[in-house]
A and B are shown apart, each in its own frame.
Chain A
Amino acid sequence: DVKVTQSSRYLVKRTGEKVFLECVQDMDHENMFWYRQDPGLGLRLIYFSYDVKMKEKGDIPEGYSVSREKKERFSLILESASTNQTSMYLCASSGPVPLAGGSYEQYFGPGTRLTVT
């Protein structure tokens, strides 16, 4: 079974702190993603990565950065946390074999609920 793990289920940080969210997958997937999920807004893509040391901006990258030094690990960094970054953060991975039609099934971690006070 594919396993995607996230470093924390719940996290409370103060405004201005630097925050690291870690995600690890054990299926040798090339693709990894970070989303945030807010009520009424669904999942919004922050950043994604197709390979080690590669990253692409998603729909809402402002205030975030990412790091992918190893294939299995994708980190999301909040350089200076703000209260509007309080949210549920979901990591996902996919690949290497696509489903029919060319899309990939994404495998999700359990999520990190981050509160910034």
Chain B
Amino acid sequence: SQQGEEDPQALSIQEGENATMNCSYKTSINNLQWYRQNSGRGLVHLILIRSNEREKHSGRLRVTLDTSKKSSSLLITASRAADTASYFCATGNTDKLIFGTGTRLQVFP
């Protein structure tokens, strides 16, 4: 059962622009994680936001969480070609995570 749905499914931007991708989930959560996947590779953890947090920053990443709307967004500022990847949100209150369907981001030089 898919917990998260990312939107948009695909996003193309120019270097230097900001990229925003959204995640909606279905049930209550303790926290939400974002992962990145380079083409043909495994996923890498980016950031976690707890349910009592509304916003969190890490470098060029900004994550927001709205538990009333059951949604989260990931903003990548001043994007670079190296940010080209798929991005997934993941929820889970224990050891097991449920991943969304992902947003494919393409950043053109």
Contact = CB atoms under 8 A, between A and B. Distances in A.
B44 interface: yes
Contacts of A110: 41-42
Contacts, number: 77
A95 B50 CA distance: 18
A94 B48 contact: no
A103 B94 contact: yes
Nearest to A10: B40
Contacts of A95: 95
A111 B2 CA distance: 20
A42 B100 contact: yes
Interface residues of A, number: 32
Interface stretch (A13-21, A43-51, A75-83): A43-51
Contact of B88 (A43, A92, A111): A43
Nearest to B41: A110
Contact of A108 (B2, B33, B43, B98): B43
Contact of B31 (A40, A50, A100): A100
Nearest to B33: A103
In the complex, which range does the number of interface residues on chain B fall in? 20 to 34
Contact of B96 (A4, A48, A101, A108): A48
Interface in B59-84: none
A90 B100 contact: no
A108 B88 contact: no
Contact of A106 (B4, B40, B45, B102): B45
A105 B40 contact: no
Contacts of B28: none
A103 B29 CA distance: 10
B42 A105 contact: no
A99 B95 contact: no
B31 A103 contact: yes
A99 B48 contact: yes
Given A40-B101, A42-B102, A105 B48 contact: yes
A100 B48 contact: yes
6 contacts: A41-B101, A101-B50, A104-B95, A106-B43, A107-B45, A113-B40
